[in-house]
Amino acid sequence: TNGCTKYIGTLHDITDWKQLQTQLVEAIEMEQRRIGHDLHDGLCQHLTFIEFRLHALREKLADERKAESAELAKLIRQAIEQTRTLARGLSPVVLAADGLMHALQELAARTEQTLHVSCTFRCPASVLIHNNIVATHLYRIAQEAVHNAIRHGQPKRIEIELRQAEGRALVGVRDDGIGFTPPPSGHRGMGLRIMHYRAALVSGTLAVQREAAGGTSVVCSLVTDGGPAAG
């Protein structure tokens, strides 16, 4: 009216909502870690005890029953290995500042062993992440990037890198596959959305791009010089 343009708007403080999201994800990670420890320290130890008792019992069995007991021992050993795999999946990063380095090294070795793709881990110098929640998010980002590369990129080689420079920690996954051009934010797949979400939770950035020489690179970077995310 009277030649004046008026605007009506509302403001919402989403700080509490973001804090609630962060606390919820942290609670889920902590519960997964607890279950992982229970599997390793409880069920896995119990199965190992059964395996030990079975080996002792075999010495008292007649020869015709020893083959059957050997098959049972094999099944128990498989159950132990499956339990350990589940425990590692639920709690991949140990509660130590160097836990992320060891977890990424194991991720590379396990990828190469089980998926038959050359996968290496490079860490020029020690990178210590004291906050286990942050370290776990970085691990999950790398894990998803590796799985995406294998599912969509048809790579022959994958490199996982962890390094620190100028007060920032960087976790990168690069492959030599067919390459992947990231879609706009509104059209991202679930895996890519989760990686961006995890990066935001630790106040980091995530860059996904097709490499000029072929393949795809995924790099997550965050401040580690005393910022709140570093712990």
Give residue limits of the domains in the chain.
15-90, 99-223
8-state DSSP, 151: I
Tally Cβ neighbours within 10 Å of residue 48.
Answer: 14
Q: Which residues contact 76 (CB under 8 A, 6 or more apart)?
A: 47, 50, 51, 54
In contact, 122 and 174? CB cutoff 8 Å: no
Helix (H, G, I), strand (E, B) or coil at 53: helix
- pLDDT number for residue 74: 86
- pLDDT number for residue 226: 42
Q: What is the pTM of this model?
A: 0.71
Residue with tokens 């009216």: 1
- pLDDT number for residue 107: 95
Which tokens go with 228? 């709140």
8-state DSSP, 184: P
- pLDDT number for residue 228: 38
- In terms of DSSP bridges, do strands 118-122 and 168-175 run parallel, antiparallel, or are they unpaired? unpaired
- pLDDT number for residue 136: 92
Of the candidate CATH numbers 2.40.160.20, 3.30.565.10, 3.40.50.300, 3.40.47.10, the domain formed by 99-223 belongs to: 3.30.565.10
In the chain, helix, strand, coil percent, each to 5?
Answer: 55, 15, 30
Tell me the pLDDT of the chain averaged across its residues: 83
Backbone dihedral angles phi then psi of residue 181, each to the nearest 5 degrees: -95, 115
Question: Judging by beta carbons within 10 Å of its beta carbon (0-12, 13-18, 19+), is residue 188 exposed, middle or buried?
Answer: middle
pLDDT lower than 50: segments of the chain: 226-231
Dihedral in degrees, nearest 10, Cα atoms 158, 195, 206, 151: 30
- pLDDT number for residue 21: 66
